[in-house]
Amino acid sequence: MASVVNTSLSEDADLRDDGVGGDLVEIGLVSVWAELWAREGLARRDRSLVTLGILIALGAEDELGSHVRIGLNNGLTEDEISEVLYHAAGYAGFPRAMAARKAARKALAPDPGPGDG
């Protein structure tokens, strides 16, 4: 997966466990990361733009945070991510865009150091 999105996502991507639906993450890694992101029809940067818009429309804030960081690694700027939020407000609705803004800001915030909370 890291080779597809040009980054290591250990904090976001290792969601595998032995509980109910434990294979779901593996299925997603194979069908989405290995298949869709590896296709040649769109550049990774463009796939990040599309993915952010879809996640905003779905209200998938947890996944959005991961994809904000992936988008940065795929060449998006913070200004472009902001434009996706603005554009989504007109199509997905203001509440979805506001929730996405909160998730994006959290994803872009500097990581607190040890003992900082």
For 72-115, the pLDDT digits (tens) are 999 999 999 999 999 999 999 999 999 999 999 999 999 766 66
pLDDT of residue 21: 83
Proportion of the chain in helix, strand, coil states, percent, rounded to 5: 70, 0, 30
Per-residue pLDDT of 52-72, as tens digits, reads 999 999 999 999 999 999 999
Amino acid, res. 99: A
Give the closest residue to 92 by CA, choosing from 60, 56, 116: 56
pLDDT at position 48 is: 97
How far is the CA of 13 from the CAs of 5, 24, 54, 89, in angstroms? 12, 12, 19, 27
The whole-model pTM stands at 0.76
